[in-house]
């Protein structure tokens, strides 16, 4: 079993940047495909992006393409989400998640694929 803890959230002005981190403990992060999700007030949780165990494959939801970058450092048991050009509509609680039983270069594209979740961290984009 793996435990996930997010950090790096907060308040940022429109157009600004944030980098979220998700540190895993209990198991090696290299065993899991990883993903970031978000949930805005009054909305369902949605997929933001995912990365394979090897880092060779990544997948982004349309709203994240060109602005967000997912990466991982398996040696540090950490996955990152770099967010640039942030917009007020990016305001949400962001979650990292780990998916078991995926091949080395495979993405986990669906929420149902993920077995373990962090507690979430607030990102607020406002002037």
Beta-bridge partners for 24: 4
d(CA 9, CA 30): 24
Could you say which residues of the chain have pLDDT below 50? none
Q: Write the pLDDT tens digit of every residue in 81-115.
A: 999 999 999 999 999 999 998 998 999 989 999 99
d(CA 107, CA 90): 23
> What values do phi and psi take at 51, rounded to 5?
-145, 140
Q: Which residues of 3-24 are buried (b: 16+ CB within 10 A; e: fewer)?
A: ebebebbeebeeeeebebbbbb
Pairing of strands 33-39, 92-99: antiparallel
Q: What is the enclosing helix (H) or strand (E) of 103?
A: none
């Amino acid at each position: 079993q793996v435990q996930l803890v997010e950090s790096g959230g907060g308040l940022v002005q429109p157009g600004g940047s944030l980098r979220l981190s998700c540190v895993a403990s209990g198991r090696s992060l290299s065993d899991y495909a990883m993903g970031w999700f978000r949930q805005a007030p009054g909305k369902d949780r949605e997929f933001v992006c995912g990365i394979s165990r090897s880092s060779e494959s990544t997948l982004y939801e349309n709203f994240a393409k060109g602005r967000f970058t997912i990466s991982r450092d398996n040696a540090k048991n950490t996955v990152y989400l770099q967010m640039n050009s942030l917009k007020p509509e990016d305001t949400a609680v962001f979650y990292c998640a780990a998916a078991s039983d995926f091949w080395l270069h495979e993405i986990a594209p669906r929420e149902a694929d993920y077995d373990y979740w962090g507690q979430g961290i607030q990102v607020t984009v406002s002037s």
